[in-house]
C-alpha cells in the first residue's frame, strides 16, 4: 500500500515479516544471542571490582558462544528448512545489537576507542535506513556481501582481543591497534560493496 504523494514509500504490514514459520530454532538463537551479550558486561564488571581473572574467562566463554551462535542459526535454518523472512530480517539486526552492546562494554572496561563505536553506529544506521527503504519500496532484502561477512569476523576477532586484553606487539603496533585498523578497512570495503548494490537497485531496479 502506497502513501499518496510519496510513491517511493511503501508501508510494510507486520504480516509481511510473519509469513511462514516464525517460531524456529534459528530465530530463537538470534534472540538469545542478543540476550546473552549483556552477560559479557556483567562478567567484566565483576572482574574489575574483584580482580578475579575467572570473570574474564567467563566473559570470553560467553563471547565465544555468542559468536558461534551467529553461524549456527543460519546453518540450522538451512538444514531444517526453516529459512523465513523474519529470520532474514532478524539475524542482521541481532548482529548489530550484539556488536553495539559488546563495543560499549569494551569502551567502559577495556579502553575500546569511542571513535570506533561512532564509526560502527554511523555505518549501521545508514545500512539500516537503506535496507528498510529497499524493503519498503522494492520488497527486497539485501543479503550480506562477502566483505560484510568478513567484517563481522574481523570485528569478532577484534572484540576477543580486547576482552583478553592481549599485550602482544608486532612492528611496534599492539594487537588491539592492528585489529582496529583491520576493522576500519573492512568497514570501508563492506560499505562500498553495500552502496554499490543499493545504488544499482535504486537507479536501475535490478537486484
pLDDT tens, position by position, for the chain (207 residues)? 343 433 433 444 455 555 656 677 787 888 899 999 999 999 999 999 999 999 999 999 999 999 998 888 778 777 777 666 666 777 788 888 999 999 999 999 999 999 999 999 998 888 888 777 776 666 666 667 788 888 889 999 999 999 998 888 888 899 999 999 999 999 999 888 888 877 777 666 555
Task: Report if residue 1 sits inside a domain.
Answer: no
Domain limits for position 95 = 19-204
Q: Sign of dihedral through CA atoms 158, 160, 67, 30?
A: negative
Task: Report if residue 3 sits inside a domain.
Answer: no
Task: Report if residue 195 sits inside a domain.
Answer: yes
Q: In 8-52, where does DSSP find H-type helix?
A: 14-17, 25-36, 38-50
Counting Cα atoms < 13 Å in the Cβ hemisphere of 110 gives 25
The pTM is what? 0.81
**40: Cβ–Cβ under 8 A, 6 or more apart, which residues?**
59, 62, 63, 66, 101, 102, 105, 163
Q: What is the pLDDT of residue 6?
A: 37
Task: Report if residue 12 sits inside a domain.
Answer: no
Q: What is the pLDDT of residue 12?
A: 44
Q: What cell was used for 202?
A: 535504486
Task: Report if residue 89 sits inside a domain.
Answer: yes
Q: How far is CA 125 from CA 93, 99, 121, 153, 169, in A?
A: 11, 13, 6, 20, 33
- For the chain, the domain total comes to 1
Q: What cell was used for 2?
A: 502506497
**3-class state of residue 206 by DSSP:** coil
Task: Report if residue 60 sits inside a domain.
Answer: yes
Task: Report if residue 93 sits inside a domain.
Answer: yes
Task: Report if residue 105 sits inside a domain.
Answer: yes
Q: What is the CATH number of the domain that holds 65?
A: 1.20.120.1760
Q: Sign of dihedral through CA atoms 83, 87, 89, 91?
A: negative
**19: Cβ–Cβ under 8 A, 6 or more apart, which residues?**
84, 85, 86
Q: What is the pLDDT of residue 16?
A: 58
CA atoms of 121 and 48, how far apart (whole Å): 27
Q: What is the pLDDT of residue 149?
A: 82
Amino acid at each position: 500500500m502506497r502513501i499518496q504523494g510519496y510513491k517511493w514509500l511503501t508501508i510494510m504490514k507486520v504480516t509481511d515479516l510473519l509469513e511462514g514459520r516464525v517460531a524456529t530454532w534459528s530465530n530463537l538463537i538470534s534472540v538469545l544471542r542478543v540476550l546473552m551479550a549483556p552477560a559479557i558486561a556483567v562478567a567484566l564488571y565483576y572482574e574489575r571490582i574483584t580482580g578475579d581473572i575467572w570473570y574474564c574467562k567467563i566473559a570470553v566463554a560467553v563471547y565465544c558462544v555468542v559468536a558461534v551462535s551467529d553461524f549456527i542459526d543460519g546453518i540450522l535454518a538451512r538444514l531444517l528448512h526453516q529459512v523465513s523472512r523474519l529470520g532474514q530480517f532478524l539475524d542482521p539486526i541481532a548482529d548489530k545489537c550484539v556488536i553495539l552492546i559488546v563495543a560499549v562494554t569494551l569502551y567502559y572496561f577495556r579502553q575500546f576507542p569511542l571513535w570506533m563505536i561512532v564509526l560502527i553506529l554511523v555505518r549501521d544506521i545508514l545500512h539500516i535506513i537503506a535496507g528498510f527503504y529497499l524493503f519498503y519500496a522494492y520488497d527486497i532484502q539485501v543479503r550480506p556481501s562477502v566483505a560484510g561477512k568478513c567484517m563481522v569476523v574481523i570485528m569478532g576477532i577484534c572484540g576477543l582481543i580486547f576482552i583478553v586484553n592481549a599485550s602482544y606487539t608486532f612492528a611496534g603496533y599492539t594487537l588491539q591497534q592492528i585489529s582496529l585498523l583491520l576493522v576500519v578497512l573492512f568497514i570501508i570495503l563492506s560499505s562500498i560493496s553495500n552502496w554499490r548494490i543499493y545504488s544499482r537497485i535504486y537507479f536501475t531496479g535490478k537486484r
